[in-house]
Amino acid sequence: DNRAEQQVLLSTPEINGEANRAWRLYRRLGFTDVIRGYHFAGDPRAFAILGRSLPL
């Protein structure tokens, strides 16, 4: 793939202790914290924004 992007970001709901399968997958794939406790308009939940370098 000849994509120019060098980074990828994702958002996921904050979970106490990061204790669910999604968080374990993201950490295993090398995603790190960019922003924690972010609130999107219209959703009362806190989210984490995670990122990592490409390719996965």
pLDDT tens column, 1-56: 678 999 999 999 999 999 999 999 999 999 999 999 999 999 999 999 999 999 98
Q: What is the pLDDT of residue 35?
A: 98
According to DSSP, the residues that pair with 9 across neighbouring strands are 51
| Domain segments of the chain as ranges | 7-53
| Known catalytic membership, residue 38 | no
Q: What is the pLDDT of residue 23?
A: 97
Q: What is the pLDDT of residue 2?
A: 79
> Looking at beta carbons, which pairs linking 33-40 to residues 24 or more positions away fall under 8 Å?
34/9, 38/11, 40/11
Q: Which of 8, 26, 51, 52 is catalytic?
A: 26
For residues 20 and 48, is the Cβ–Cβ distance under 8 A? no
pTM above 0.85, yes or no: yes
